[in-house]
A and B are shown apart, each in its own frame.
Chain A
Amino acid sequence: MIAISEDVSADTRAPLVDIRGVDKHFGDFQALKGIDLQIERGEVVVVIGPSGSGKSTLCRTINRLETIDAGTIAIDGKPLPQEGRPLAQLRSDVGMVFQSFNLFAHMTILENVTLGPIQVRGLKKQEAEAKAMELLERVGVGHQAGKYPAQLSGGQQQRVAIARSLAMRPKVMLFDEPTSALDPEMINEVLDVMVELGAEGMTMIVVTHEMGFARKAANRVVFMADGEIVEVAGPEEFFTHPRSERARDFLSKILAH
């Protein structure tokens, strides 16, 4: 990272997401080993690595869907609280998009997007619906608002999921392999929305196998293997001159075709 010590605001403002010394075990298996990562406001960080490297687990620890065994995670200067009301409050500020969309199956698209704003933010139904429609239009599924999730294609469902997260006006968005469950022709419609979001200044942490997206939208690429961060670099540098043997090996495998 570049230190801008002259900039006063950079001194006083903590990183938006501050991960320090995080360990995570699943039984005997150590999924995360001493992870340190700071993410600044407006930054798009893409996390890549072979499967089982801990990148999804890391993503899920940031809003405490996975608990951690050691270390600290702070968001906007506040450490993650224990389960309960403060944690729910914090989660409402951290958007999350899942690999399997996870839209609420018994609710219409519009209800999916308004549930959080109404129940958590206390918005009036009308106000929430107007905002939701704006977001649905923006991700290109406005005309589907009255349908149920199963009536939409995977790509449309994932764009609704992004709108559902955005409706909470999050400080940071987590994407956990958002295109891995999609048919190839639908991947780009989701990535386009994400690229646009990043360009508008949203802070994003994106776990993905989409190297094109990483090149295009990432400020930094984090390469993980075996539960450790092996390398952090700008996308150009990472893809053209990876420093570590692990990264070179990984890139040669995925870019071979």
Chain B
Amino acid sequence: MVFLQGTWGTVKLFGVTLIGSLVLGTVLAAMRVSPTPVLRGAAAAYVNIVRNTPLTLVMFFCVFGLPFLDIRASRDSALNSFVLACVALIAYTSCFVAETLRSGISTIPVGQAEAARAIGLNFGQTLRFVILPQAFRTVIPPLGSVIIAMLKNTSIASAFNNRELISAMRGAIEQRGDITLIVILATAAAYLVLSLVLGRIFDYLEKKWVIVR
């Protein structure tokens, strides 16, 4: 029962972070290939700073640092911890999504963008309709790795007042110290199941969206 709640906590952190980091990562990747130097520079600076900071530190910053700047997500303590943990995970994961996507963009033949511009699409439309859909399809395998890493990274939120698999495991060990090893293995199994399901979804998408040139 505790484990089910814990798994649900992990899935919630994962789901919100997945959507948030895909959106922010796509925006960052678009900025990094934009013709405007200011946007390119800002995105590059953000990615280089956040990507090279340990996630634990990013989470410390969000959970304990932001309140000093009078930034709070909610008066409700549990919700506040959840939102701030998601913010940290999104901030961190989006860098990896952006870099993965950027590598995908660079594999798209330059003629695709030229053809798009030649029919009168502007930069944003060219990205949205021609470049990004193809880039996403080509980076599904490495993007899958980024997202599976993110799933496991949600465990760090357990140290910041979040209820998820690891905190459920700690609670279970405190109550039943005699089966510690089993509890740890069961937790690992829960992560394994979630990761394998994700892996299957990515395999499916990879086959479904394959682009023949």
Q: Are B119 and A98 in contact (CB under 8 A)?
A: no
Q: In the bound complex, how far is the Cα of B117 from the Cα of A120, in angstroms?
A: 11
CB distance from A126 to the nearest CB of B (A): 19
24 A-B residue contacts at CB 8 Å? Answer: A85-B122, A88-B117, A91-B117, A96-B114, A96-B115, A100-B109, A102-B109, A102-B112, A103-B115, A104-B115, A104-B129, A104-B130, A105-B112, A105-B134, A105-B211, A105-B212, A106-B134, A115-B130, A116-B120, A119-B125, A161-B115, A164-B119, A165-B119, A168-B119
Q: Which residues of A contact B (CB under 8 A)?
A: 63, 65, 83-85, 88-96, 98, 100, 102-106, 115-116, 119-120, 148, 150-151, 161, 164-165, 168
Number of interface residues of B (CB under 8 A): 23
Most A-side CB within 10 Å, residue of B35, B119, B121, B129 = B119
Contact assessment for A106 and B133 in the assembled complex, using a CB-CB cutoff below 8 Å: yes
Taking a contact as CB atoms under 8 Å apart, the answer to whether A105 and B120 are in contact is no
Q: Is the CB of B112 within 8 A of A104?
A: yes
Secondary structure type dominating chain B contacts: helix
On whether A88 and B118 interact (CB within 8 A), knowing A83-B35, A105-B213, the answer reads no
B116 at the binding interface (Cβ < 8 Å)? yes
CB distance from A151 to the nearest CB of B (A): 8
Chain A residues lying within 8 Å of B129, measured Cβ to Cβ, are 104, 115, 119
A150-B111 contact, Cβ under 8 Å, with A116-B120, A120-B120: no
Distance of A23 Cα from B36 Cα, bound (Å): 26
**A115-B129, A148-B212, A150-B213 are known contacts. Are A91 and B112 too (CB-CB below 8 A)?**
no
Q: A120 contacts which of B115, B121, B134, B212 (Cβ < 8 Å)?
A: B121
